[in-house]
Amino acid sequence: MLEILVSDTIRYGHLLAVAVGFGVSFHTEVHAARQRNTRIDQGFLDDMALRHRLILGSVIAMWVTGLAIMAIRTGFRIDAFSAKLWTKLAVVSILTANAMLIGRIALPILRRSEGRSIAEIGLLRQVPLFAVAGISSVSWLIALALGSSLFLKTAPATLFLTVLPYAYGIGITAAVIAGLALIHRDRASSAAEAEPRVAAPVHTEHSAPHDPAAADPAPQTAHDGVQPRRTRAQALAPEIAEMTDVLAVLNDTAPLPHRTKLPHRQQNAPAHLRPKSTLRQEAQAPANAPSKPIAAKPPVRRATEQRLRAAFVG
């Protein structure tokens, strides 16, 4: 009775170590993926280090409880080891090596990249992070399957030798491709948001003059020290104001100014404009007309014209 109780307790501790390690590992990968565009600071590094210690503690607990279960069931006799047991030892060994890689490679990469986000650290640093994440996920999933499957308990060794390489290869490749795809999608969306989107104005024959204030009643305000982008209506406001003055003159709503006083020739509008009566008088008698009429030249006689032609022609 006592032997069964001790065996169940050790087995419960072994399963608990697998559950805690798998849960912390999965949550860490999801958390890092969500924070891929966030600047790496000391708080993020401390959080990653704490999670790594929890995973490493779970792996050590798996070794301790697993060896205890092996001692109870097999007495460490090699001939009593099944293919499933050898696979468990291989998977836990890969988990241990991956935990060491995280401490020697992944965490130092994050420390050297402090002040930048995971999406900005470069491809040569991103691929190792995604690879260790893929190894960790596949190892924990296989360990969970080995501990819960009755089919794998009596499976032949050839099945494990065939499935394990494919599982790790597919898991690592999928993790790297998924990580790079997320970063590429974020960059594409950021580039699309950076491009200004201006709707084409619709012109009608009897449309009223464009009013920039009515088109943009609530202009953007500066947020967090970033100046707002000027809209097309705000950029064209000076030209629209000048065009409004010129249209008013052409529609006889205001006297016609001198050509050097037009709004597009001078920044400020003239203070005084000539009345229409002056323009009508000037049209009847232009300003550049001579004060005295020019006398008509006497007609040249035909004989004299013939002599001049004969002289020039010879």
Give me the DSSP letters along 7-63: HHHHHHHHHHHHHHHHHHHHHHHHHHHHTTTSPP-HHHHHHHHHHHHHHHHHHHHHH
Of 36, 43, 55, nearest to 101 (Cα)? 55
Q: Are residues 36 and 98 in the same domain?
A: yes
On whether residue 122 sits in a domain, the answer given is: yes
Q: Which residue has the higher pLDDT, 126 or 283?
A: 126
Segments in the chain forming alpha helices (H): 2-34, 42-73, 83-101, 107-112, 123-148, 157-194, 212-215, 232-235, 237-250, 276-284, 302-313
Question: Would 274 be classed as within a structural domain?
Answer: no
Whether 95 and 143 have beta carbons less than 8 Å apart is answered as yes
- Kindly calculate the radius of gyration of the chain based on its CA atoms and give it in whole angstroms: 44
Residue 294, pLDDT above cutoff 50: yes
In a domain, 152, yes or no: yes
Among residues 266, 286, 305, which one ends one of the domains? 266
Q: Residue 142 pLDDT more than 80?
A: yes
pLDDT-derived band at 298 (thresholds 50, 70, 90) equals: low
Q: Please say if the pLDDT value at position 214 is more than 50.
A: no
Who has greater pLDDT, 244 or 167? Answer: 167
The amino acid present at 209, given as its one-letter code, is P
Secondary structure class of 226 (helix, strand, coil): strand
Q: Is the pTM of this model over 0.85?
A: no
N-term to C-term CA, the chain: 151
**Containing structural domain, residue 11:** 2-193
Max CA separation in the chain (angstroms): 156
- pLDDT, greater one: 107 or 257: 107
Q: Is the pLDDT of residue 194 over 70?
A: no
Residues 121 and 256 reside in one and the same domain: no
Backbone φ, ψ for residue 226 (5° rounding) = -100, 125
3-state secondary structure of 236: coil
Q: Is 167 among the domain residues?
A: yes
Instruction: At 12, list the tokens.
Output: 């419960």
Q: 130 and 260: one domain?
A: no
Q: Which of 44-58, 89-103, 137-151, 288-302 has the lowest mean pLDDT?
A: 288-302
Please indicate, yes or no, whether residues 156 and 254 belong to a single structural domain of this protein.
no
Q: Is residue 178 part of a domain?
A: yes
- Predicted confidence at residue 206, as pLDDT, reads 47
- Note whether 187 and 248 are same-domain residues: no
The whole-angstrom separation of Cα 11 and Cα 162 is 28
Judge if 95 and 22 occupy the same domain.
Answer: yes
Structurally, how many domains does the chain consist of? 2
User: In terms of domains, do 20 and 165 share one?
Assistant: yes
One domain, residues 32 and 121:
yes
Q: Are 166 and 260 contained in the same domain?
A: no
Residue 296 in tokens: 């008509």
- Pairwise CA distance, residues 306 & 297, whole Å: 19
Contact indicator for 211, 166 with CB cutoff of 8 Å: no
Q: Do 260 and 160 share a structural domain? A: no
> Phi-psi region for residue 122, left (φ > 0), alpha (ψ -120 to 50) or beta?
left
Using the 3D structure, point to which of 193, 219, 245 is the last residue of a domain.
Answer: 193
Phi, psi of 188, rounded to the nearest 5 degrees: -65, -40
Q: Is residue 104 part of a domain?
A: yes
Considering the domain boundaries, does residue 124 fall inside one? yes
Q: Are residues 174 and 255 in the same domain?
A: no
Structure tokens at 97: 């090596």
What's the CA gap between 148 and 108, in Å, rounded?
35
Residues 105 and 170 in one domain: yes
Q: Does the structure show a pLDDT above 60 at 259? A: no
Under 8 Å CB-to-CB from 172, ≥6 apart: which residues? Answer: 131, 134, 135, 138
Mean pLDDT of 281-286: 54
- Is 223 among the domain residues? no
